[in-house]
Amino acid sequence: MLKKRIIPCLDIKNGRTVKGINFVNIRDAGDPIELGEFYAQQGADELVFLDITATKEERKTFVELVRDIAHHLNIPFTVGGGISSVEDVAPLLQAGADKISVNSLAVKDPGLINELVDAFGSQCIVVAIDARFVDNRWIVHTHGGSRPTERELFSWAKEVEQRGAGEILFTSMDHDGTKQGFAIKALKKLGNEVTIPIIASGGAGTMEHFDEVFQEGEADAALAASIFHFREIGIPELKDHLRKNDIEVR
């Protein structure tokens, strides 16, 4: 079994790291490069940098920032936001990103996943899925969580896998920023529906939540933001806690 990964997520807006609750009420959380360096020193396994307004504002992810991040980091990182074509990806990988994440544009044009996989390989392509529980269904949302779609989480996840994506980053919009725990039932079902790795996102508040997401939710990696940004939980302490509970981490 692969060892579990701890992944801090840095949502970027206007070059700054920000954090919200349920995708709104955004507040500043610091400089992304300084935070990235700090997490690398702390023992984070990977980092995710998401330009959260790139799609809504029809901008491309800022390649210069990616280059700066790569210059300062020695751990793998994923970049997402506003990616709509193969041509968007090459500059990001050349600037130093290890993987790219697509979300809204993949929902609009699922063939984009195939094109990206053909051009760069599955290992480079993460599909992010933001979903909210509505009328007893997990409904996929796009554009920073602002637009509900006709797609349902589990069927979309299976299609994403069939199209060749290497990983799924699932964020429960209902749990995002609440610190009340991850969407365990949804994650467990997701793990039964697909075979590619799943990164769980949304709801981390305590070390016990990470126990739950790995043991009950069967996630391959757990992503969190505010608890790391505001120093509520340290990554070394978290990894020690998980090891004591017989959860193998990197």
pLDDT score at 58: 43
Please count the CA atoms within 13 angstroms of the CA of 48 that sit on its side-chain side: 32
Determine whether 11 is an active site residue. Answer: yes
Q: Which residue, 128, 110, 121, is CA-closest to 7?
A: 128
Stretch 13-36: mean pLDDT, rounded?
Answer: 69
The token pair at 46 is 């990977």
- Residue of 11, 45, 51, 220 with catalytic role: 11
pLDDT score at 224: 94
pLDDT score at 219: 97
Pairing of strands 137-142, 147-152: antiparallel
Token pair 């901008």 is found at: 59
* Residue 191: band (very low, low, confident or very high) from pLDDT cuts 50, 70, 90: very high
- Residue of 88, 130, 176, 220 with catalytic role: 130
- 21 vs 218, more confident: 218
Q: Calculate the alpha carbon distances from 67 to 63, 75, 235 in Å.
A: 6, 14, 25
- What confidence tens digit (pLDDT) does each residue in 119-133 have? 999 999 999 999 999
Domain residue spans of the chain? 5-244
Determine whether 31 is an active site residue. Answer: no
Q: Calculate the alpha carbon distances from 47 to 33, 112, 204 in Å.
A: 11, 24, 16
Stretch 148-167: mean pLDDT, rounded?
Answer: 97
Q: Which residue, 144, 180, 139, 185, is CA-closest to 58?
A: 144
3-state secondary structure of 213: helix
Enter the pTM of the model: 0.91
Q: Are 159 and 201 in contact (CB under 8 A)?
A: no
- What confidence tens digit (pLDDT) does each residue in 131-143 have? 999 999 999 999 8
Stretch 35-43: mean pLDDT, rounded?
Answer: 93
Q: Does domain 5-244 have CATH number 1.10.3720.10?
A: no
Dist CA 56 CA 103 (whole Å)? 12
